[in-house]
Amino acid sequence: MEPKPIVGIITNETVGFNGRQQSHSAGKRYVDAVMNFADIVPILIPACIRKCDLGTLLDRLDGVVLTGGRANIEPHHYGGEAFPDDEVIDPDRDKTVLDIIPECVQRHMPIFGICRGIQEINVAYGGTIFYRVHHQSDKQDHRMPQNDDASLEEIFKPRHLITFPENSLFKEILGQDSFWVNSLHGQGIDQLGAGLSAEAFSPDGLIEAISINDHKSFAIAIQWHAEFHPERDENRLNNLLFQKFGDACRQFHLAKS
């Protein structure tokens, strides 16, 4: 049997035990989706890996997933206004991911960005980010429900439609012009980075999906959370995205071998 591809899932640096212990972690749903729907082997990438070691790591991988996270990219990476003092940050992840993205692109390695991942790819390509989408007069509130007792089903349920422009990869993948997605983000793409294409929009015009131009493999990022129950009929696009990502990782692995 041909060995399965190995894919790196970026982690977030989190603090637990009342501030006494730092950890690198990724949501279980990302790991499950990579295993069960992309059918590839996941490993976790530490958020603090040194730039000089990235080549050694990526030589052993066949794809990378950029996950969501509670912290947002610090605005000094894209010329934005400084965060308030109480903003959650993850500077190690910022640095690591902004180093990983060009390495993946140079190798034409499959890369799949989810939620924070779409914002990271945009920043890596010189784009900018809205600090709070709902502060924009022409944008809707894209955050999760603000009541503390909301269930997971309520938090992750489809919230708004996205539409695909002409020649969108998503129209080709799904065979239709629109799709309902969940929405759990406070920030979002403002100016699109050079070298990227917008693949989907929400009703208020916010960019919901992008692709990397001239990339020879799967290089897609989305603003919604595709890892939440991709097996459900209403989440068919999410299932297809993980399948397409897995196929691309297998092709990359074979070509590398």
Calpha distance 29→192 (Å, rounded): 28
Domain that holds residue 213: 6-256
Please indicate, yes or no, if residue 74 is contained in any of the structural domains: yes
Please indicate, yes or no, if residue 204 is contained in any of the structural domains: yes
Q: How confident is the model at residue 17 (pLDDT cuts 50, 70, 90)?
A: low
Calpha distance 155→253 (Å, rounded): 36
**Cβ-based neighbours of 78, under 8 Å, separated by 6 or more:** 123, 126, 127, 128, 129
Domain holding 46: CATH number? 3.40.50.880
Would the pTM of this model clear 0.85, i.e. be above it?
yes
Contact assessment for residue 30 and residue 242, using Cβ atoms and an 8 Å cutoff: no
146-162 tens-digit pLDDT: 888 999 999 999 999 99
Contact assessment for residue 171 and residue 164, using Cβ atoms and an 8 Å cutoff: yes
> Which residues are known to be catalytic?
115, 225, 227
DSSP string for residues in 91-108? HHHHHHHHHHHHHHHHHT
Total of domains in the chain: 1
62-79 tens-digit pLDDT: 999 999 999 999 999 999
Q: Which two tokens stand for residue 222?
A: 């989305």
Please, what is the end-to-end C-alpha distance for the chain in angstroms? 14
Please indicate, yes or no, if residue 1 is contained in any of the structural domains: no
Please indicate, yes or no, if residue 208 is contained in any of the structural domains: yes
Pairing of strands 178-181, 188-189: unpaired
200-249 tens-digit pLDDT: 999 999 999 999 999 999 999 999 999 999 999 999 999 999 999 999 99
- Residue 20, pLDDT > 80, answer no
Q: Which pLDDT does position 22 carry in this prediction? A: 81
